[in-house]
Amino acid sequence: MDVDAFVAVRSSRWDRLRDLTRSRRLSGPEADELVSLYQATATDYSRVRTSAPDPTVVTRLSNLLSRGRGLIAGAHEPGWGDVARFFVVSVPAAFYRVRWWTVAMTVAFIAIGVATGWWTYSNPELLAQLGTPSERQAYAEQAFAAYYSTYEPGVFATQVWTNNAWIAARAIALGPTGIGPIYLLVANAMAVGQAGAILAEFDMLEVFFGLILPHGLLELTSIFIACGAGLKLFWTWVSPGPRTRSRALAEEGRALITLVIGLAVVLLVCGLIEGYVTPSSLPSGIKIFIGALALAAYWTYTLVLGRIAVRHGETGDMRAEHLDDTVAMAD
């Protein structure tokens, strides 16, 4: 199809539809004309997308149809059903699609953290770089535990939430570089390993795990999700598969927005656990059990609901009916 000739023939029709959609009030005949032009333009839109998906023309028509649809059908107001579907279908699908990346980040973090902790603990010169003996002892016996009780639980939970959200945001934002998420993962793993080495030096590993695990099980998993999602976006750029690179990045990017919203909720739970459970007087076993229960809830949510959603074709991307106005891309 000759796009230029097609546009030349149809432009007057499209311009008239544009003028009608901009009118504040329509008479009866004008409303009928609007519906007729909308239907005709929808046919034109379909022909362009199928035969000659020129981005400029597709964008022009999609905008026209969007305004026309709003006048004819009325604006769609999201209801509780949309919210429920988002958290029961879209979010678990987005989490499920990065599950293996999350597992890979988990294994890498544990390996790096354990190796760093053992190597630091076994080498006095490395421990010396972390502070003098008295400074390390003060950290192990006072500062490490005091960190969790310095502020009121509500304030501390908010601080933890925003801090972790910032780390996760950087991991995702730096994902396309392929280096940013790896750097953040390694830096955090080494920091945890070094802290463990200092407490091990003074035979306080029980305190270390008693304070780290209640919130850390889910909190660190959230960071693994963010790093994994960032690297998945990078891999999409490297290997888009049968899709064009721009289309693949657009689809994965939209799904990533869904994941970020879901991750914000997960991080809120982490903040509440770290603010109220970790510094509490509950026995360490109970606190760790609460943390393990939160982690199990996340993986159950992801593996059960996510698997069902993905089997039905969900990816975490926008619903098909909301994608009518996206720019067509030639394969």
The answer for 203, left when phi > 0, alpha when psi is -120 to 50, beta otherwise, is: left
Q: Are residues 55 and 103 in the same domain?
A: no
| Number of Cβ within a 10 Å radius of residue 322 | 11
Which domain-ending residue is among 15, 40, 75?
75
* DSSP character string of 203-269: T-HHHHHHHHHHHHHHHHHHHHHHHHHHHHHHHHHH--TTS-HHHHHHHHHHHHHHHHHHHHHHHHH
Q: Are residues 195 and 102 in the same domain?
A: yes
Which domain-ending residue is among 75, 100, 129?
75
Is the residue at 330 inside a domain? no
Q: Are residues 134 and 231 in the same domain?
A: yes
Q: Are residues 101 and 201 in the same domain?
A: yes
Per-residue confidence at 318, pLDDT binned at 50, 70, 90?
A: low
* DSSP character string of 180-198: HHHHHHHHHHHHHHHHHHH
Which domain-ending residue is among 75, 110, 130?
75
pLDDT of residue 134: 95
Q: Are residues 42 and 146 in the same domain?
A: no
pLDDT of residue 49: 75
Residues in the chain: 331
Q: Are residues 68 and 120 in the same domain?
A: no
pLDDT of residue 74: 57
- pTM, two decimal places: 0.71
**Contact 60/14 with Cβ under 8 angstroms?**
yes
Whether residue 245 is predicted with pLDDT greater than 60 in this model: the reply is yes
Is the residue at 328 inside a domain? no
pLDDT of residue 79: 61
Q: Are residues 45 and 186 in the same domain?
A: no
Give the residue-averaged pLDDT of 200-208: 94
**Contact 316/97 with Cβ under 8 angstroms?**
yes
Domain of residue 32, residue span: 3-75
What the block records as the tokens of 108 is 């890498």
The number of distinct structural domains making up the chain is 2
